[in-house]
Amino acid sequence: MSSSTITVGNIISSLLPHGSQEPPLVPPDECSALERCKFVPMFPTDVFAVSAYLCKVGGVVSYFDPSPYAEETDKCYFTIGIDFRKQADDAAAEWRDTDREDLGQPPKFVEDLWEILIESWDHLAMPGSYVIPGNRAPDWWRAALLLAMISDMACNRILRDPLSDFKPSPFERWVAKHYITQAIEENAQEKQNKDNDAASGTKGIRPPPSLCQVVDSGIVCVLPKVRVAPVGATLRNISRNLSLLPGRGEVRCSWHMSPAQPPNEDTETLDVLLIPEPSEIHARCFDANGDEEISLKERHYYKRDWETFHLNQDWINTDEGKKVFVRNCRDLLANAKKESGCINGVVLPEYAICFELFEELCGELKKEEKRLEFVIAGSSDNCEDDGNGNTERGNHVLTRVWYTEEAHQTTSRKKHHRWRMDRSQVETYALSAALNPKIKNWWEDTPLGRREVHFHRFRERSVFSVLICEELARSDPCHEILRSVAPNLIFALLLDGPQIKQRWPAQYAANLADDPGSSVLTFTSFGLIDRSNKQGHHPENHSIALWKDDSGKFVEIEMPKGEGPRAVLLSLWSDHVSDRTITGKNSRVRSWRYSSHFPIYGNKNN
DSSP symbols for 495-514: --S---TTSHHHHHHHHHHH
One-letter amino acid of 17: P
- Asked whether 496 and 505 are in contact (CB, 8 A), the reply is yes
Q: How far apart are CA 455 and CA 232, in angstroms?
A: 24
Q: Which residues contact 237 (CB under 8 A, 6 or more apart)?
A: 61, 228, 229, 231, 581, 582
Ramachandran class of 274: left when φ > 0, alpha when ψ lies in -120 to 50, beta otherwise: beta
Chain-centroid distance, C-alpha 425: 29
CA pair distance 459, 471, nearest whole angstrom:
25
Which residues of the chain are modeled with pLDDT < 50? 1-3, 194-202
C-alpha–C-alpha distance, residues 210 and 28, integer Å: 23
Burial of 36 (0-12, 13-18, 19+ CB in 10 A): buried
Hey, is 400 helix, strand or coil? Answer: strand
Task: For 349, list phi and psi in degrees, rounded to 5.
Answer: -75, -175
Cβ-contact 235, 149 below 8 angstroms: no
Q: Measured in whole angstroms, how far is the alpha carbon of residue 452 from the centre of its chain?
A: 8
Taking the C-alpha atoms of residue 223 and residue 241, their distance in angstroms, rounded to an integer, is 9
C-alpha of 184 from chain center: 21
- Alpha-carbon span 584 to 599, nearest angstrom: 44
- 335-353 confidence digits (pLDDT tens): 999 999 899 999 999 999 9
Q: Which three-class secondary structure string do you get for 242-268? A: EEEEECCCCEEEEEECCCCCCCCCCCC
pLDDT attached to residue 160? 81
Give the C-alpha separation, 346 to 363, whole Å. Answer: 13
| Positive or negative: CA dihedral 549, 476, 498, 353 | positive
- Distance, in Å, from the CA atom of 160 to the CA atom of 481, rounded to the nearest integer, reads 18
221: helix, coil or strand? Answer: strand
Helix H or strand E encompassing 573 = strand 566-580
Q: Give the other-Cβ count within 10 Å of 357's Cβ.
A: 22
Name the pairing type of β-strands 286-288 and 566-580: unpaired
Q: Are strands 270-274 and 420-422 parallel, antiparallel or unpaired?
A: unpaired
What is the rounded CA–CA span in Å between residue 239 and residue 282?
49
pLDDT of residue 304: 76
Task: Show the CA angle centred on residue 440, arms to residues 438 and 444, nearest 5°.
Answer: 115
pLDDT of residue 22: 78
